[in-house]
């Protein structure tokens, strides 16, 4: 295998595992939000605000991983010129 094939494999792993992690994190957070809203309906608006803020941060972490993968894919600093 060449260096380029390892870079493609690494980019796929970065994006794939990041997407799985973001999906699991948002799913767990959404489930806990529903549980908390059912237990204390008067806090629903506060909890919803915090849930959407955390959902944005979880997605931002995934998109940073996508950006790093694109850096390796298109401007790879590890390939000798």
pLDDT at 80: 64
- As to burial, measured by CB atoms within 10 angstroms (0-12 exposed, 13-18 middle, 19+ buried), residue 69 is buried
**C-alpha torsion sign, points 46, 49, 54, 57:** negative
Q: Which residue has the tokens 């699991």?
A: 24
29: pLDDT strictly greater than 80? yes
Name the percent of the chain lying above pLDDT 70: 94
pLDDT band at 76 (very low <50, low <70, confident <90, very high): confident
**pLDDT tens-digit map of 36-59:** 999 999 999 999 999 999 999 999
pLDDT at 72: 86
Query: Which pTM value belongs to this model?
Result: 0.79
**Which positions are catalytic?**
59
Longest CA–CA span in the chain (Å) reads 62
């Amino acid at each position: 295998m060449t260096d380029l094939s390892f870079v493609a494999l690494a980019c796929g792993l970065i994006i794939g595992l990041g997407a799985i992690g973001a999906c699991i994190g948002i799913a767990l957070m959404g489930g806990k939000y529903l549980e908390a809203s059912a237990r204390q309906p008067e806090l629903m608006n506060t909890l919803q605000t915090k849930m959407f803020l955390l959902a944005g941060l979880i997605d931002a972490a995934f998109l940073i991983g996508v950006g790093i993968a694109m850096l390796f894919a298109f401007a790879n600093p590890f390939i000798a010129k």
